[in-house]
Amino acid sequence: MEYKIYCIVLVIFSIINLSNQLDPRIVGGTNARLEDSKYMVSIRLKNNDKGSNFGDGHTCGGTLIGRNKILTAAHCIYNKKTKKFRKAGDFQVVMGTINRYKKTNETLVYKVSKIAIPSSYKGDDFKDDVAVMFIKGSVPENYRYIIPIPMNHLDLKRGTLCSVTGWGSLREAGIMPSLLQTVEVPIVDTKTCNKAYFISGGLATGQLCAGYFEGGRDSCQGDSGGPLVCNGFLAGVVSYGNGCANLGFPGVYSNVTYYKKWIDEQNGGNLLSLSVTAALLSFVLLSTL
């Protein structure tokens, strides 16, 4: 009986939000600090980000997971108008900044040399919504303003409090802020999240949920591809949701733990992933003993 009532309520909310559909998904957050988000990347369309328009090209978030390796969402690469994937040369990435319109002494800007997308991602839904970008060059070693974050490899318990960061809209269909935003959201178990999204078929394999059923705090348009960080590890990639911070619909993220093997296998030519780097360091240390 309770489940039937729950389903009826969800149907009503879905009808009310038909115009929203499933949107690429910081509402209800606060200004972020650079020292807490050194892994954060602004992914930009290069032609929209030139000269005095610096900052206008922001299209998605990303996360630095190696000195030349960025994790984002596959739908950030897909051009819905042309039904084709954009090329690496269409993008540039910006790191080490809080205000997306300003370059500081800490800001680094890179061109993109290569993009890897799962062959199973088709562009018409959010299944396997992950992509890896490789930059031309690499972030200098010991650069204290920009530091890669390790990827999560553990199961996340329901209620685990995580943080989402991005320059996305502060409200649905709203403008994007100048300053980087952050908000805390709890992990929602898959069974409960499947009930929320049962009309659209529920979660696909490799997805996880985080957010509040009462709404008010969530990722939004422009946050897509950005990080969901739990216990100091990158746990998710902002993928989609039913609107932004809507009642009854937590945000959906690509599960980094599920895709970690595929991510590690992607190689940009001069890539050393965090796990490989750690292994090499351990070998060097043991060799000197």
Tokens of 120: 């199973």
Q: In this predicted structure, what is the pLDDT of residue 26?
A: 53
- Three-class SS string for the chain? CHHHHHHHHHHHHHHHCCCCCEEECCECCEECCHHHCCCEEEEEEHHHCCHHHCCCCEEEEEEEEECCEEEECHHHCEECCCCEECCHHHEEEEECCCECCCCCCCCEEEEEEEEECCCCCCCCCCCCCCEEEEECCCCCCCCCCCCCCCECCCCCCCCCEEEEEECCCCCCCCCCCCECEEEEEEEECHHHHHHHCHHHCCCCCCEEEECCCCCCCECCCCCCCCEEEECCEEEEEEEEEECCCCCCCCEEEEEHHHHHHHHHHCCCCCCCCHHHHHHHHHHHHHHCC
Torsion sign across C-alpha atoms 259, 262, 265, 268: negative
What is the rounded distance in angstroms from the CA atom of residue 250 to the CA atom of residue 53?
34
Smallest Cα–Cα separation from 68: which of 167, 143, 16? 143
Tokens of 205: 């394999």
Class of domain 38-148+258-280: mainly beta
Smallest Cα–Cα separation from 154: which of 208, 194, 201? 208
Q: In this predicted structure, what is the pLDDT of residue 267?
A: 85
Q: In this predicted structure, what is the pLDDT of residue 280?
A: 36
Catalytic residues: 75, 129, 224
Every domain of the chain with CATH number 2.40.10.10 lies at 18-28+151-257, 38-148+258-280
Tokens of 145: 């303003």
Query: Does the model's pTM come out above 0.85?
Result: no
Q: What is the dihedral of CA 118, 186, 148, 116, to 10 degrees?
A: 10
Strands 69-72, 181-188: parallel, antiparallel or unpaired by DSSP?
Answer: unpaired
Angle at 168 between CA 133 and CA 206, to 5 degrees: 55
List of residues 6+ apart from 106 with CB closer than 8 A: 34, 96, 97, 145, 146
Mean pLDDT by 10 residues, the chain (289 residues): 43 38 55 94 96 94 97 96 96 96 95 97 92 97 95 95 86 74 93 85 92 61 86 96 65 96 82 39 35
Q: In this predicted structure, what is the pLDDT of residue 249?
A: 74
Tokens of 60: 């998605």
Cα–Cα distances (Å) from 217 to 30, 170, 244, 269, in that order, read 11, 10, 8, 39
Smallest Cα–Cα separation from 149: which of 43, 233, 33? 233
What is the rounded distance in angstroms from the CA atom of residue 255 to the CA atom of residue 195?
18
- Please state which of the four CATH numbers 3.10.580.10, 2.40.10.10, 1.10.10.10, 2.40.50.180 is assigned to the domain occupying 18-28+151-257: 2.40.10.10
Q: In this predicted structure, what is the pLDDT of residue 47?
A: 96
Q: In this predicted structure, what is the pLDDT of residue 3?
A: 43
Q: In this predicted structure, what is the pLDDT of residue 198?
A: 76
Tokens of 177: 């802020």
Q: In this predicted structure, what is the pLDDT of residue 125?
A: 86
Cross-strand partners of 162: 185, 230
Q: In this predicted structure, what is the pLDDT of residue 173?
A: 55
Q: In this predicted structure, what is the pLDDT of residue 140?
A: 96
